[in-house]
Amino acid sequence: MQNYYHCSLSNRIAFITGASRGIGRACAISLAGTGHRVILAARNLEKLEETAAAIRATGAQADPVEIDMSSPDSIKSAFAKASKEIGRIDILVNNAAITRDGLAMRMKQADWDTVIQTNLSGAFLAIQQVLPGMMRERWGRIVNISSVVGESGNAGQANYVASKAGLIGLTKAIAQEMGSRGVTVNAIAPGFIDTDMTAVLPADLKEKMLQSIPVKRFGTPEDIAAAVRFLASEEAAYITGHVLDVNGGMYM
């Protein structure tokens, strides 16, 4: 019989990339709030320490780890360090992402390569690091943060859209490979979420986007964190290869 309850909620370990701010930070706080020990991974160690301190103040466990998702060596080193010092990783949240926007006809090769390497290849390499341990335990949760534009497309973001659409394909492929091992792999496609990444957009563009959202508000990082918390739970054990749209209805 498959051992779905190989450990209690309180000693599961979740690794969250891009955890220094926005959606990643909210995911870390949410998972810590449900008893998980969280590993906070990003490039900015100082901001990670701030998030870790906020989580520790609640009595939960948080460990910052520096990582550069565009560097295979950095990814391998960060996961090796986490596994050695903290323990097996039960939950992986692939959240880290960057943008380098521009029209396709003028997009620089470097901007294409950097976005694909960070958002898609980095996520794949992170998955590779956790799969052996999850397979041994016959339990694991992988949640990839895609985007509504990975489903709908978006002008001026060919690189970002391709990376997020690729993440959906990656999710479905790994889900098929790992389903019999007790490891679920799902994606979340956020809509317009109020974060640092979207704060720089012009006010008229924001207003136009708001009009396309049936619930008439922008999403919050906590909206995404709630979906991550569910997909990482025991209750989601029979859900895999799924793309959960959390977008207020802006794309159906």
**Known catalytic residue at 5:** no
Tally the residues of the chain.
Answer: 252
Q: Which of 5, 160, 238, 251 is catalytic?
A: 160
- The amino acid at residue 6 is H
Q: Please list the active-site residues.
A: 160
